[in-house]
Structure 1
């Protein structure tokens, strides 16, 4: 029988925008997607002056357009502008994390010739964007690229006030320096891209802002991790007929060469019902409950009442999932230079981000599609396939050959 898990920093929820009251149509968030070749900043400024729209973000790399607060009436008028492809209501997101692992052992990072795990501070020469709540910039166990920081929430320097982004960053690349923890790709440069506030809340527009920043630096950033999500489905294509601005941004960023790893979600439902997990262009990761870093299912559960070496009872599943990785009771970096345990597909996805970083460090010309194929082909089935609701045994992430 599957057991429920109390939700702490729970599965991301995308709330639909509430219809405005009849008497008062207050401004609310919209994303305005412009036709290719449009000058986003110029058109946004023009619309702002003409329609009293409050521009929040402008996009010029992953997407042509802008986000703004406006009334429903104004949104309808803007949708008729011949330079506008479509206008989409902004939506809210939350973290894909749960409570509070060791997964580096389980994915065989010590066997990777690129990781160089030897308790000496060697650093994997690769850049990974953590699109999240930010990162503690001065954590002694992280190689934070503060010059590449971007805050899309109005904060300063993308400094983490939640802990989630710092935790994700540690799983990806905590230093191999004989203290604290070590990441899958030790010492990888982690870029703080803050799209969620200190409560773990954000919007599609703030996430697109983060993806836009990553895409602008696609010549430097090889991998990006999105341990967040929302209700939604794959619109089916990356072409001009798409009506999903977030998907369009992800498509453009992947086309620019950035590999994306994404949390499957923590609702025990089909990942096809969550975005960006449902997008075909990303690497979607479900969570394994593993309490000792070893196969066999012999360990006692620790911070969760789950069975060792099985599909985590909170994890989303389904055909959109590309890999499974450790996501229960993961120990990683935290605020104030500390460490903490956390659980969720948010913790599973950065293991895959670290794996992608190792692969790109050794093979810098590999495309996102090639990275995805390599990670899937290298995965093993050496885990117990019990408690998996869809019966599909996902490949367990393994980086020994990277």
Structure 2
């Protein structure tokens, strides 16, 4: 139904004197600037062996090693070294690392509006019966000790020596909307008790790089037999080349394509710039479920509910949300209450909050249809959706087939 697409990686000075006249040595040359890059290797190449060789021959300082979603590595090197690496016949492309950022028991209004409480699979009744499904939260990490979350596994791509704990709050909030326990306390998620795999790719300020994001996707792809769904409530500038990143040299896109091909369903945030999602990635990629935000203040259709934590209109497309033909679904994303670090709860807004409603829905579908492909999951969620909300057409063009 869609689209066309959406980075810091050495010198000698010679001095001397000639004849009978002493000469001052020239000033040392300034070190060549370095940059951070992602090196994508051609299929069949041994990533570790090639990274080691590039480090030895070209001075590349290797960061992440990618071996599942794609073959390659991230590294810091000079522009001259980059050019030598790019000339290696085993290298598909070299791209600069880009910055990415987060897009930020009662029955939460979003869970109510998504009708998760009516799902026999979710079985929300205050009894801790857990959904048999695994969801990766590619984000700021997750509070592993939160009493309302079922946290397993995980990886820290920002500081690999540390566990993927959340010092920001964003990832923990996302995790709660997906799978907070139905235990009679705090809040409840769309797929209560789902096993949450924290994959930390954003720092405690909610910022990160594509090198870390690809590391996270690579981890998910390596566990594709265990992880069913991945939530990416983050994004940065970019477009979809329609070829899984091969034409534009987009490693994030290729990694997602490989992970989706391995059976993982990806739900991603459309973005919070009130702009067309075609200029933001991963929102622009065809292979994911791109989610915009709905303003809903009472968990029910029909409109008319007063605004709560922010000024918006009930049952309308959220005023901050990205839009366009790349949007696949809309879900509640305004004034969403969910889990927060240190065992707490918090209410925040964003397409980041809308996306885990869809990830939770995808998790419910996978729990009862374990053989469903990512495309089948997307289709099932779209078919189950409704259009009982209003789009403010005065400023935007409505997404196709919204639900």
**TM-score strictly above 0.5:** yes
1:87 matched to 2:94? The reply is: yes
- Indicate the SS of the match to 2:331: strand
Of the three residues 136, 147, 170, the one matched with 1:140 is: 147
Query: Which stretches in structure 2 are left out of the alignment for 5+ residues?
Result: 1-5, 10-28
Offset of 1:236 from its aligned partner? 1.1
Offset of 1:382 from its aligned partner? 1.2
- Would you say the 8 A contact 1:381–1:393 is kept in 2? no
Q: Could you tell me how far apart the structure 1 residues matched to 2:40 and 2:398 are?
A: 40
- Indicate the SS of the match to 2:174: helix
1:143-176 per-position Cα deviation (integer Å, ceiling 9, x unaligned): 001xx21000015110111000000000000000
- Would you say the 8 A contact 2:8–2:77 is kept in 1? no
Offset of 1:240 from its aligned partner? 4.8
* Alignment match, 1:169: 175
1:307 matched to 2:313? The reply is: yes
* Alignment match, 2:38: 31
- Indicate the SS of the match to 2:337: strand
Q: Could you tell me how far apart the structure 2 residues matched to 1:191 and 1:391 are?
A: 34
Q: Could you tell me how far apart the structure 2 residues matched to 1:185 and 1:26 are?
A: 48
Q: Could you tell me how far apart the structure 1 residues matched to 2:340 and 2:55 are?
A: 40
1:67-116 per-position Cα deviation (integer Å, ceiling 9, x unaligned): 0011111111111011111110111111102xxx6200001011111001
* Alignment match, 1:6: none
Q: Could you tell me how far apart the structure 2 residues matched to 1:172 and 1:353 are?
A: 6
Q: Could you tell me how far apart the structure 2 residues matched to 1:266 and 1:240 are?
A: 27
Offset of 1:394 from its aligned partner? 5.0
Q: Could you tell me how far apart the structure 1 residues matched to 2:102 and 2:245 are?
A: 28
Question: Please, what is the CA RMSD of the aligned residues?
Answer: 1.6
Q: Which moved more, 1:44-53 or 1:336-345?
A: 44-53
Aligned ranges 1:241-320 → 2 under 5 Å? 241=247, 243-320=249-326
1:247-289 per-position Cα deviation (integer Å, ceiling 9, x unaligned): 0000000000000000000000000010000000000000000
The structure with the largest alpha-carbon Rg is: 2
Q: Could you tell me how far apart the structure 2 residues matched to 1:24 and 1:325 are?
A: 50
Offset of 1:52 from its aligned partner? 1.4
Of the three residues 41, 53, 63, the one matched with 1:46 is: 53
Q: Could you tell me how far apart the structure 2 residues matched to 1:221 and 1:362 are?
A: 15
Aligned ranges 1:73-112 → 2 under 5 Å? 73-97=80-104, 102-112=109-119
- Would you say the 8 A contact 1:242–1:248 is kept in 2? no
Aligned length: 374
* Alignment match, 2:385: 379
- Would you say the 8 A contact 2:326–2:399 is kept in 1? no
Q: Could you tell me how far apart the structure 2 residues matched to 1:385 and 1:201 are?
A: 31
Distance 1:278-1:337 versus aligned 2 partners, 3 A rule = same
1:237 matched to 2:230? The reply is: no
**TM-score normalized by structure 1?**
0.90
- Indicate the SS of the match to 1:313: coil
**TM-score normalized by structure 2?**
0.90
* Alignment match, 2:23: none
- Would you say the 8 A contact 2:236–2:281 is kept in 1? yes
